[in-house]
Structure 1
Amino acid sequence: MAKSEKESSIFTYDESSIKSLDWREHIRLRPGMYIGKLGDGSSKDDGIYVLVKEVVDNCIDEHMMGYGKNIDVHITESKVTVRDYGRGIPLGKVVDVVSKINTGAKYDSGAFQKSVGLNGVGTKAVNALSSHFKVQAFREGQQKTAEFKKGVLVNDPKLGKTDERNGTYVEFEPDSTMFKNYHFIPEYLDDLMWNYAFLNAGLTINYNGQKFFSKDGLLDLLRQKSDPDDLRYPIIHLKGKEIEVALTHGNQYGEEYYSFVNGQNTTQGGTHLAAFREGVVKGVREFYKTDFDAADIRASIIGAVAIRVQEPVFESQTKTKLGSIYTAPEGGQPIKSFVGDFVAKELEIYLNTNPIAAEALKKRIQQSERERKEIAGIKKLANERAKKANLHNRKLRDCRYHFDEKNPKGADCMIFITEGDSASGSITKSRDVETQAVFSLRGKPLNCYGLTKKVVYENEEFNLLQHALNIEDGLDGLRYNKVIISTDADVDGMHIRLLLMTFFLQFFPDLVKAGHVFILETPLFRVRNKKETIYCYSEEEKQNAVRKLGSKPEITRFKGLGEISPDEFGRFIGENIRLQPVLLHKDSHLQKILEFYMGKNSPTRQDFIIENLRVELDKVEASAEKTEEEEVEA
C-alpha cells in the first residue's frame, strides 16, 4: 500500500507541478538555449567565447551606428573586461538592460538598423552565467555602476560624476561551477578580434596590449589566411552596398570559406554562403561560356562573404548559421539573388578586365577536372567497398546521434581515432554510446605527404575513415563535431598522431581550420595512497602530487591507453575530458609545415628535433634536481 501511494505521488500532475522560473534561473538551468554548449574552452564555439562575443557585439553595434572607433578588451585566465567609447547605456536603464529579458534598444530599428543582437538576451546571459558581473555607463559627465553575482544585483546603483569619456564598461568572470575547468585559448580569441577588425575597417581593437586594425577588410582576411606563394591569381576583392566578398584559388584540397552577417562569424554558413557558392559558379560559367562542373570550379577556392541585413534570423542564439531568406522582414530582396547575382555579375566583370587572372583561374579549373576524372574509376570501386564495409565495419563503433542531424545532442558528438584494439577496447567500454564513437586503426597509417587524393581511395583505411566522417564532399555532412586523435604518449603514438594530422591537413584542411580536430590528453601518471588518488598529465603535476600525498605514495606510469582500465578511462573522456585543439597559427603555411615535418629533409628535421629536445630534457632534469633537493630538506 505504501508503495502504491509513493508511485501515485511521483506521477501526480496538478497545480503544484507547474513552476515559473525567473530570467536568471531559466538561463542557468537551460544555458544551451542562450549560448549553445557550455564546454571548457577547447572548442571555438564553447560558451566562454560566446560570453565574450555577446559583450563585444554590443560595442560593434555602437561602432556600426557611427559611435566609437576604439574598443579596449583585456582577458586573463578568468576575467574579461570590455570598454567601448560609444554613446553609453542610458543611465536610467543600466540595470534593466543587463537583467531583464527582452529589454534593449535592438528592437528599435532606427537606433540599430543592422545590429547583431536582436532579442535582448545577450548580456543577460553573460550576467546570469558569471560569478561576478559589473557594468558601468558613462554619459555626459555622469556615470552609473551595477554589480551582480550570478545575476543577482549586489549593490545600490546610484548616479555619480565622472571625467570618463562616453561609453560602456563591462567586467565579468565566467562561473566556474557552470564552465568546469574552463580556459581561454589565445588563438581563438585572436581570431575573434581579427574577424571584428576585418569586418569593421577603420575600427581599432586594443586586445591585451595588441592592436587589431584592418584597412582593406576581407582582402586583409584572405591575405592572412593564405600563403601568397600558393595562390593561382591575386585575391579578387568586390564591394557593393551592404555586401563585400573576396576570393581566390590555391593548391589545397577542399573548399575554404569565411562567412559573416552583420559582423557575426557564421561558422556553419547559411543562405548567404550558399548563394555565394552558387554565384561563383554562375559567374565563371557565363564568362568562359562553358558548363564547367561546379565541383571543379570551387575546388581549392578560398572565399569570404560578408553581408548586412535588417533583423537577421539565425538558427540558434549562438548565431552560427543564417536562416534568413530576405534581406529585410518586409520588402527585402531575396538573399539568394542579392548575394548570388552580385557575385556572378562582379566576378564576370573582373575576369573581363583581368585576362591574366582569368587564364590562371581557367587552368586551375581544368586541373581539377583532370584530377577528378583520373580518380573517378578508383573512387567508384572504393566507395562500393566502403559501402559494404559500413554494414559490418569492425573499425567503427558508432554512436546514436550525429553532428549533421537536427538534434541538440549532435553538437556534443565526437569520434575517437585510436591505435589498435587494446586502446579502442578501453574507450569502447567506457564511452557514452549516444554521443561518442570509436574508429580503430590497425597500425601506423601511410605517410601521405606529397601524394594525390587518389591515395585516399586506394588506401582502405583512409577510405573507411573519410566515409566514417562523411567528409568526402566537404564538411556539410560531417557526422562528428569533434574528431579526436587518441594515441599513446610514446614515440609510436606521437608518430601515428603526426601521420593522421598529415592526412587531414593534406586532403581535408578545412576540417582542421574549422576547429574540428583535437588531441586527447590522458594522464601519464597515477599517484595514490590509501585515501586519495591523483591523475597527473605531466611531470610537474606528478611532483606536486607526490609532495601533496607524501609518505612515498604508489606511482603508476601509463605507457599506453590500453593500460588504463575502462572504469578509469571513463573519467578521462567524460565531463573532465582534456582536449588539445589542433590549431594553425595565422602565419603558418600548410605546405611548408608538412614539407618540413613529413617530407624528405631528414637531416634538417633531425637537427631541429635534437636542439628542441635538449631544451625539454633540461627542464625535466632541472625539475628532478629540484625535487631531490626538496626531499633531502624534508
Structure 2
Amino acid sequence: MKKVNETYGNESISSLKGADRVRKRPSVIFGSDGLDGSKHSFFEILSNSIDEAREGYGKEITIIKHKDFSITIIDNGRGVPVDYNNSEKKYNWELVFCELYAGGKYKNNDGENYEYSLGLNGLGTCATQYSSEYMDVEVFRDGYKYSLHFEKGENIGGLIKEKFDYKKTGTIHKWKPDLDVFTDIDIPIEHFMDVLKRQSIVNSGLKFVLIDENTEITHEYIYENGIKDYLEEINNEKNFTDVLFFSKEGRGKDREDKSEYKVKVEIAFSFNNEVNLLEYYHNSSYLEYGGSPDKAVKQAFIYEIDKYIKRENKYTKNEKKISFIDIQDSLVLVTNSFSTVTSYENQTKKAITNKFIQEFMSSFIKSKLEIFFIENKDVADKIINQVLINKRSREKAEKTRLNLKKTLGGKLDVTNRVKKFVDCRTKETEKREIYVVEGDSALGACKLARDSEFQAIMPVRGKILNCLKADYDKIFKSEIIIDLLKVLGCGVEIKTKHNKDLETFNLDNLRWDKVIICTDADVDGFQIRTLILTMFQRLTPSLINNNKIFIAETPLFEITSGKKTHFAYSEKEKQDILSKLKGKYTIQRSKGLGENEPDMMWETTMCPTSRRLIEVEPENEEDTMNMFNILLGDNLSGRKEFIADNGEKYIEQIDIS
C-alpha cells in the first residue's frame, strides 16, 4: 500500500502575514525579485508625488540617488495624511505604510481623491516600505512635521508629531531597497534619468530635479508644453509635416454591466523620414507594450490612410493594402491618456487593457485624421506618397531577402557549384582558408602554390561592382558577388530603412576560418582589393567585426644577390635591403600574381610561417563608413580635399616605376 504523509493535515495550511507578504514574494507585486523589482519600487513612490503635482499641488519633485543605493524623493504636495483616522479607527500611517490595498486612491464622497491616478490602489507605498532595509518618512501638513521610521517592514518608535513652521507642505521619503528582498539594488543613474525625462514629457510644466551623489551632477527635466515640445525635440526640424496635437475627454464603460469612467486623451504626431517613434503613456506611466492605445493607433491610422489611398486611386492594380509598419517607418507619435478606471495587465503597468479606452482613442484619431486629410490635401498627399514608398521598399526588400535565401542556401555540390572555385580537402572549418584572388591567371598560380589540404581559391573575374554606390537589386544581379557569397556560406546583412534588418546572415555558417584577399601589388590590384573590402563592409560587416578578413601582402620587388633572393614589399624595404648587400645584385619588379613561380608564391604569399597577412581590424562603424564614402562615394570634392590633406602620408607607397 502507498504510504500516506501523516504530517499533511488541517494545520498544514498557513498564510504569509504582514511584511512577509511582500518580502518573501516580491515578484508578485513588483514583477521581479531582481533589479527590475527595485526599479519598480522606486516608481511606486515617485508616482504618488506625481499624482499630487498633477492635481495642482507642487510643481517640482526632487530625487536623490545616494552613494549607498538609498533613494530620497521630495515633493511639495499636500503631505501624506498620517494622523488618526476616525472612520477606520486607525492611524492613517498604518493604512498607508503597513496595509496593502489601502490609501488615498479610493473614492471619497465627491467621487475621487485623484481625478487620474498613476498610483494603484494603495499597493505601492506599503509594498515599497515592506521591501526596504529601512524607510524614513517626513510629512509637512496641518502645521505639523510628522516623522516615521521603518526597518525591514516594521515600524520603530511610532508616529512622532511636532509643531513646525514649514514654508511648503509636502512629503519626504528616504529608503533603501533591501538586499534580503531583491538580488540587486544598484539602480543605474541612467534609469532615473530615463524615467524622469519620460514623466516630464507627459506632465507638462512639472519640473524634476535629479541629484546624483556619486558624480555630484544635478539633472533637470521640464517640458512646458508636454508631448508637443517633446516631438519638436525628436524631429529636430527634419519632419516633413508639422507636429499635430489633439486632445479630447469623454466618458464610457468597458462593459454594459460596468460603471462609467472618465477618459482624457492627448496625441501628438508628425511624419519624418529620418527618425520614427511610437510611445504610449497612461496616467503618466510609460506603457512599454502599449495595449489599448497601441491597438487604437494602429487601427485608426491604417483605416484612414488606406481609405485616402483608395479614394485617390494610388494603389496599383492588384497591389496589397498597406500595413502599419509602412506608416510607422515615417511616423513620430506619442499618446498621453488618462482614466479614472484603469485595467493594467499586471502591477508593473506596462500595458493597459481597457476596451473603452481603445474604442474612444480609435474613434477620436480617425475623426481627426479624416478632417485633417480633407482640409490639408497637399500634406495628405505627401504622407500617403511616403507611406506607399515605404510599403513598396519593404516588399522589395522582403522579395530580395527571399530570393537571396533561395540563391545562397544549400550546400556547394555538383548541383550548386560555383564557376572556377577550387575547394580544399579538409572539412574542419577552423583550419580552412580561402584566397580571393584577382583573375584566372592568379587562380592558376595560386592553385599550383597552395597547400590543397586547407587552402581554397576563389577568383574574382574583372573589377567587382562598387557596392557603396549600387542598390541591392544591382548588387545581387552581379554573378561575381553572388558566387563569392555562395562560397562564403554565411549569407548577407541587408540594412533597410530605420535599421530594420531583413537578413540571411549567420556567422556560424561561414565555411572558413580566414578569408584572404590576394591581389597584385599595383594600382589595379589595390583598387580591386578596396572594392572587395567595400563589398564585405556593405554586405557582411560582421566578418570584419569578427576578425575573419585578411589581406595577403605581395612583394613589389625581387632582389637577387648571388644565390639568394630577397623580397621587398615597399620602396623603403627595397632601400633597406640594398643598403645591406655587398657585391652585385639584380632588381626585378615583381610580376603579377599570374606570372609568379609556385615556389615564390608559396614562400611570399601562402605559407603560414613566411607570408605576411594584414588582419582587417574592426573600427568604429561610423568612421569606417565615412572613410569608404570619402574614397568610393559620390562626394568628389570631399575626396579631393582628403587627398590634398593626407596624400603626403602615403608618398612612400606610391608606385612610380
TM range (shorter): 0.5 to 0.7
In 2, are the aligned partners of 1:456 and 1:463 still within 8 Å (CA)? no
Q: Name the TM-score, length of structure 2 as normaliser.
A: 0.56
1:355, CA displacement in angstroms?
A: 4.5
Distance 1:455 1:20 in 2: 50
**Matching residue's letter, 2:627:** K
User: In structure 2, what is the equivalent of residue 166 of structure 1?
Assistant: 169
SS at structure 1 position matched to 2:627: coil
In 2, are the aligned partners of 1:256 and 1:301 still within 8 Å (CA)? yes
In the superposition, relative to structure 1, how do residues 158 and 225 fare at CA in structure 2: closer, same or farther (>3 Å)? Answer: same
SS at structure 2 position matched to 1:338: helix
Identity of matched residues, %: 23
1:25, CA displacement in angstroms?
A: 0.2
Within the candidate set 271, 280, 283, 2:304 is matched to: 283
Superposed, which structure 2 residues align to 1:499-538 within 5 Å? none
Distance 2:499 2:219 in 1: 44
**Matching residue's letter, 2:182:** F
In 1, are the aligned partners of 2:22 and 2:131 still within 8 Å (CA)? yes
1:113, CA displacement in angstroms?
A: 2.4
In 1, are the aligned partners of 2:490 and 2:508 still within 8 Å (CA)? no
User: In structure 2, what is the equivalent of residue 238 of structure 1?
Assistant: 246
Distance 2:124 2:359 in 1: 31
Query: Is 1:83 aligned to 2:74, yes or no?
Result: yes
In 2, are the aligned partners of 1:199 and 1:306 still within 8 Å (CA)? yes
Deviation by residue 1:456-475 (Cα, 9 ceiling, x = unmatched):
556342999xxxxxxxxxxx
Distance 2:137 2:374 in 1: 54
SS at structure 2 position matched to 1:308: strand
Q: Number of residues paired by the alignment?
A: 412
Query: Is 1:270 aligned to 2:260, yes or no?
Result: no
User: In structure 2, what is the equivalent of residue 397 of structure 1?
Assistant: none
Distance 1:111 1:387 in 2: 64
1:14, CA displacement in angstroms?
A: 0.9
Within the candidate set 385, 389, 393, 1:363 is matched to: 385
Query: Is 1:178 aligned to 2:181, yes or no?
Result: yes
Superposed, which structure 2 residues align to 1:385-534 within 5 Å? 456-457=501-502, 459-461=504-506
Distance 1:444 1:598 in 2: 22
Q: Name the TM-score, length of structure 1 as normaliser.
A: 0.58
**Matching residue's letter, 2:106:** Y
In 2, are the aligned partners of 1:446 and 1:499 still within 8 Å (CA)? no
In the superposition, relative to structure 1, how do residues 232 and 459 fare at CA in structure 2: closer, same or farther (>3 Å)? Answer: farther
User: In structure 1, what is the equivalent of residue 337 of structure 2?
Assistant: 307
Within the candidate set 55, 58, 64, 1:65 is matched to: 55
Unpaired runs of at least 5, structure 1: 41-45, 326-333, 390-419, 422-441, 465-494, 501-592, 605-634
SS at structure 2 position matched to 1:600: helix
Distance 1:354 1:257 in 2: 23
Deviation by residue 1:193-213 (Cα, 9 ceiling, x = unmatched):
111111111211122132211
Within the candidate set 14, 21, 39, 1:19 is matched to: 14
Within the candidate set 132, 153, 156, 1:154 is matched to: 156
Distance 1:72 1:251 in 2: 37
1:323, CA displacement in angstroms?
A: 1.3
Mean alpha-carbon deviation: is it higher for 315-324 or for 349-358? 349-358
SS at structure 1 position matched to 2:351: coil
Deviation by residue 1:509-543 (Cα, 9 ceiling, x = unmatched):
xxxxxxxxxxxxxxxxxxxxxxxxxxxxxxxxxxx
Within the candidate set 293, 296, 307, 2:322 is matched to: 293
**Matching residue's letter, 2:337:** I
Within the candidate set 118, 130, 133, 2:132 is matched to: 130
Distance 2:19 2:282 in 1: 29
1:385, CA displacement in angstroms?
A: 10
**Matching residue's letter, 1:293:** I
SS at structure 1 position matched to 2:339: coil
User: In structure 2, what is the equivalent of residue 516 of structure 1?
Assistant: none
Superposed, which structure 2 residues align to 1:180-259 within 5 Å? 180-208=183-211, 209-229=218-238, 231-241=239-249, 242-251=264-273, 256-259=277-280
Distance 1:447 1:310 in 2: 48
User: In structure 1, what is the equivalent of residue 372 of structure 2?
Assistant: 350
Distance 2:497 2:76 in 1: 52
In the superposition, relative to structure 1, how do residues 100 and 386 fare at CA in structure 2: closer, same or farther (>3 Å)? Answer: farther
In the superposition, relative to structure 1, how do residues 200 and 458 fare at CA in structure 2: closer, same or farther (>3 Å)? Answer: closer
Unpaired runs of at least 5, structure 2: 84-91, 212-217, 250-263, 316-320, 412-428, 431-487, 510-540, 547-619, 632-657
Distance 2:497 2:53 in 1: 47
Distance 2:543 2:31 in 1: 30
SS at structure 2 position matched to 1:259: strand
Within the candidate set 378, 389, 393, 2:400 is matched to: 378
**Matching residue's letter, 1:83:** I
